[in-house]
Amino acid sequence: MALKETPSQTAGPFVHIGTMPAIAGLKAKHPRPGNILARDGTLGERIRIEGAIYDGAGALVKDALVEIWQANANGQYGSNDFTGFGRAATDFETGLFFFETVKPGRTPHRDGRMQAPHVMLSIFARGINIHLQTRLYFSDEANAADPVLQLVGAPELVATLIAQRDASHPLYRFDIHLQGDRETVFFDF
């Protein structure tokens, strides 16, 4: 290795200016990636992912940026008709974030086994020195054989990664706990 990676620094409380300028009230000439990924004609089941981020004192994190990266309904990343990348800010008042997207398909793990459908998430905020990386899985999918969830192991830890499907709507609730008894599992890769 010839060079060291540039070290991370917190995105700070004003991350929206550079990443979601409209949220900060700035006009942009070109649209930026936002939280609506599903368009007319996008293949797959339309879903809404909704959640909140809690800190170790149980307070809502209202200044975070959440990014997602996911495969399309066929399990392909970066297809022409579906970027698979989205951004949402936690609401300054309610702390909620949401995405309108499609349920991703299964994708291969490095060892060739198939992974359960999942969405990758990154969290950036004041007080987070280097972005936190996690995965969202779906409560109505067969998750037991997923190679990454098997690495996570303990059922109570796996449970932090499962978004719960609302009985009547294609809506999944996914709350993230940065610290504490219900702390979400975060990944390094």
Q: How many CB atoms lie within 10 A of CB 30?
A: 4
User: Which range in 39-47, 82-90, 137-145, 166-174 contacts another protein by CB under 8 A?
Assistant: 82-90
Minimum CB distance to another protein smaller for 40 or for 93:
93
Report the 10 Å Cβ neighbour count for 100: 18
- Nearest CB to another protein, comparing residues 47 and 89: 89
Q: Within 2-61, which residues bind another protein (CB under 8 A)?
A: 2-19, 21, 24-30, 33, 55-57, 59, 61
Q: Which is nearer to another protein, 33 or 95 (CB)?
A: 33
- Cβ atoms of 52 and 175 within 8 Å: the answer is yes
Task: Return the residue of 77, 171, 173, 175 that touches another protein, per CB under 8 A.
Answer: 77
- Per rule CB under 8 A, is residue 105 in the interface with another protein? no
Angle at 153 between CA 148 and CA 159, to 5 degrees: 85
Q: How far apart are CA 134 and CA 123, in angstroms?
A: 8
Angle at 133 between CA 151 and CA 117, to 5 degrees: 60
> 58 — phi, psi (to 5°)?
85, 5
- When asked if residue 66 is in the footprint of another protein (CB under 8 A), the reply is no
The two tokens of residue 129 are 């020195």
| Nearer to another protein (CB atom), residue 141 or residue 171 | 141
* Total residues in contact with another protein, by rule CB under 8 A: 75
Q: Per rule CB under 8 A, is residue 154 in the interface with another protein?
A: no
Rounded to the nearest whole angstrom, what is the least distance from the CB of residue 98 to another protein in the complex? 19
Please give, one letter per residue, the 3-state secondary structure of 127-185. CCCCCEEEEEEECCCCCCCCHHHHHHCCHHHHHHHEEEECCCCCEEECCEECCCCCCCC
**Stretch of 41-49, 136-144, 165-173, 179-187 lying at the interface with another protein (CB under 8 A):** 179-187
Q: Which is nearer to another protein, 47 or 125 (CB)?
A: 125
